[in-house]
Every structure is written in structure tokens, then in C-alpha cells.
Amino acid sequence: MESSTTLPILNTVELRVLGSLIEKSKTTPDYYPMTVNALTAACNQKTSRKPVVDYDEETVISALNSLKSQSIVSTAVGGSIRAVKYKHNFTTVYPLTDGELAILCLLFLRGPQTPGELNTNSARLHEFRSLEGVHDALNKLMNSTSPYVKELPRRAGQKETRFIHLLGETANYEEEESHEEPVRKNVSDLEARLAAVEQELAEVKETLAKITKDLF
């Protein structure tokens, strides 16, 4: 996987639409390409989505038109197709393996994930032989001429780091990361202060016990 093509910067609606098209092309090929109605329902699924959204068809059509202008999506024509249907051209524009595409799809639809989560969630999109295969795909996506993903800083108490895509709006996730540090710091400060109070209380009790003993 090597591409000198500049990666697009997509908004959250475009990412959800693109991710849904990629997902359904793999999981429900009999119903792919997709009508606007079916694609809207896919975007608004309450499972396998983070966050859950409630887009109307006008919002989805606007995203489709933007994606079409970037050659990432096209309409399907010919044969028995009556209603206008849409398909993604992502791997035509950006040459990726099935495993790499599956990882990006999951990051589009579910946000940042660890390699273990990606391995578990990718079963219907691509069957990785092992967790090592997920790491290999992530390394290729990170080390491409135009990187597709990056690794987020490790969270306190977590064994695995999470990965995020670089094709659009990631600020919310990075804000989430930055907000967590002050929260953890405040908790640590409170715990330290509580420990100090408990120590002082123990010393007071010990002093009172000695005074009581001397008096009686």
C-alpha cells in the first residue's frame, strides 16, 4: 500500500456515510449499492456506531454530493437498477488491502480503538489471522507516504494504546483525551489529601490515647 495521493479532509457526516458504504459493501452485498433511504438507515444504526446519530436524507444527500465531487463515491447505473444507488470508490482512489480498509471503516464508524478492539470488531469486514495481523496493517497505514492513522497517547491504566484515522475531524477525540488528564490529576490530588488527613487523624488519636492513659 503506497499512495502519493493527498488524503481528503472529511467532515463527520461524510465520514459516517463513507464508513457505512464500506461496511455494507462487505456485510450485506446483496443490498449494495445502496439507496439514499437504506444508507440513511445505515448511518443512523444504534449498534456498531459511535456516536449514534439521527441524520435525515437531506443531510446524507449533501454528504454524498461532496464525496462524489472528490471521486470517493459514485452512482450505480445499468442493469435492473431503477432508483439511484450509491457505491464507494475509496479503494480505487486509495489502494488499500482488505484488512487496511476494514480498520479504516471501523475507525470511521466507531472512533478510536485499540488493536484488540479492531481485531474483535472486524470479523464481518475482514478476518485477521491474528492480532499481529492487525498490528501489521496499522503499521502500514501509519507509515504510508500520506499516513492514514496515528496512535493516541496511552491512557492511564490501559495496556493498549488506541488508534485514530487522519481523514477528517478528530479534534473531538483529542479534546476528550486532553480533558481526561485534569480529571485523573484531580482524583489523584484528592486521594493524596485524604491520605494526609487520615494520617493526621491517626496521630491525633494516638496522642489522645497517651493523654488519657497519663490522666487515669
Q: Are 105 and 48 in contact (CB under 8 A)?
A: no
Residue 204, pLDDT above cutoff 70: no
| Of residues 80 and 130, more confidently modeled | 130
The whole-number average pLDDT for the span 17-42 is 97
Give 74-97 pLDDT, tens digit per residue.
998 765 557 899 999 999 999 999
Amino acid (1-letter code) at residue 123: A
Evaluated on CA atoms 177, 104, 94, 37, the torsion sign reads negative
pLDDT (0 to 100) of residue 173: 54
Lowest mean pLDDT among 6-20, 49-63, 112-126, 181-195: 181-195
Give whole-number Cα distances, 193 to 156, 190, 202, in Å: 20, 5, 14
pLDDT at 180: 47
Q: What is the dihedral of CA 139, 140, 142, 147, to 10 degrees?
A: 180
Round the average pLDDT of the chain to a whole number and report it. 85
The answer, yes or no, to whether residue 40 has pLDDT greater than 70, is yes
pTM summary value: 0.77
Looking at 95-170, list the stretches that DSSP marks H as alpha helix, in order from N- to C-terminal side: 98-110, 115-121, 131-142
Specify the length of the chain in residues: 216
Q: Which of 25, 10, 22 is nearest to 67 (CA)?
A: 10
Give the closest residue to 105 by CA, choosing from 1, 12, 22, 7.
22
Instruction: Locate all alpha helices (DSSP H) within the chain, ordered by sequence.
Output: 12-27, 36-43, 57-69, 90-93, 98-110, 115-121, 131-142, 171-215
Q: What is the pLDDT of residue 215?
A: 67
Eight-class DSSP state of 1:
-
Q: What is the DSSP letter of 31?
A: G
Question: Can you give the pLDDT at residue 156?
Answer: 81
pLDDT of residue 153: 92
139-197 pLDDT, tens per residue?
999 999 999 999 999 878 778 899 999 998 654 555 455 444 454 445 556 666 666 66
